[in-house]
Amino acid sequence: MIRSLGVVLCAFQMATPAHAVRVISGISHDTVEVTSSFDGERLTFFGTIAPDVGSSDQVEGPFHVVIVVLGPTQVRVAREKTSNFGIWLNTDQVEFPGFPSYFHVLSSKRLLEVTDIITLSANFILPESHATAPNPAGLTKTLDFGRELIGLMTEEGLFGVQETALQFMSDTFYSAQLTLPGNAPPGAYIAQTYVFRHGAIVARKPDDFAIRKIGFERFLALSAIRSPMLYGIACVLLALITGWLGGLPFKR
């Protein structure tokens, strides 16, 4: 019995990390302001890997870091167009609820060299992970439409993976830069940092920032949300007035 307990204790000690660590991270901007001239913004992500609180042990690597930047979630619909007697029509579609409007990955090494595909998928580090959630359309159809949706959002600069974009300045201090595109949707963003050692996640930490419209752009956005009918009527009237004024110089 004592021998069995010793074996169990030994196995438990082997499964327990010898040196617990934590990540202390930050972002260069906590708010990105969008005006009429906004064409993007460069953010810097940085941090250091330190011993866990209350631990006097030194951190031992080697470490790899992956940062996943997620934008506000929304309902996205991927549609398939087919030609019917020379007319292109939407014939099929798959709806993706809770789909990220922005998704970007920064890593210190190729993802498959950092850890295995199961860990990457389970933590939604791969873009395709967001197309595998249960869907009434079925797994195969969801994956097919999800890949097309991710491809389209990648072309728009809203999805992306930058392997080896994150650099270690020392054994424990890292830094990475990301340029947000001009069409990045406003809202709350999360930068989730994962620290890997020997393929396993040993620390993680979320940091948040926001993209928000200011000035007249903010007024228009809030008007469209709070008073959609009045906003629509105002847009129609503005279009009519603009068209009438544009036609005055050509009147005889």
The pLDDT of residue 10 is above 50: no
The pLDDT of residue 231 is above 80: no
Determine contact, residues 40/221, Cβ cutoff 8 Å.
Answer: no
CATH 2.60.40.1930 maps onto the chain at: 13-213
Q: What pLDDT score was predicted for residue 118?
A: 94
| Structural Rg of the chain based on CA atoms | 25
The pLDDT of residue 134 is above 90: no
What does the pLDDT look like over 71-119, one tens digit per residue?
999 888 888 777 676 676 667 788 888 899 999 999 999 999 999 999 9
Identify which has the larger pLDDT, 140 or 121. 121
pLDDT-based confidence at residue 9 (cuts at 50, 70, 90): very low
User: Which pairing describes strands 31-34 and 200-213: parallel, antiparallel, or unpaired?
Assistant: parallel
The domain defined by 13-213 folds into Immunoglobulin-like (2.60.40)
Tokens of 34: 């969008």
> What distance in Å separates the CA atoms of residue 222 and residue 227, rounded to the nearest whole number?
8
Tell me the percentage of the chain whose pLDDT exceeds 90: 44
Q: Which amino acid is at 121?
A: S
Q: What pLDDT score was predicted for residue 2?
A: 37
Return mean pLDDT, the chain: 81
- My answer on whether omega of the bond before 185 falls inside 30° of 0, hence cis, is no
What does the pLDDT look like over 60-74, one tens digit per residue?
879 999 999 999 998
Q: What pLDDT score was predicted for residue 85?
A: 66
Q: What pLDDT score was predicted for residue 222?
A: 52
The pLDDT of residue 15 is above 50: no
Identify which has the larger pLDDT, 37 or 179. 179
Predicted TM-score of the model (pTM): 0.75
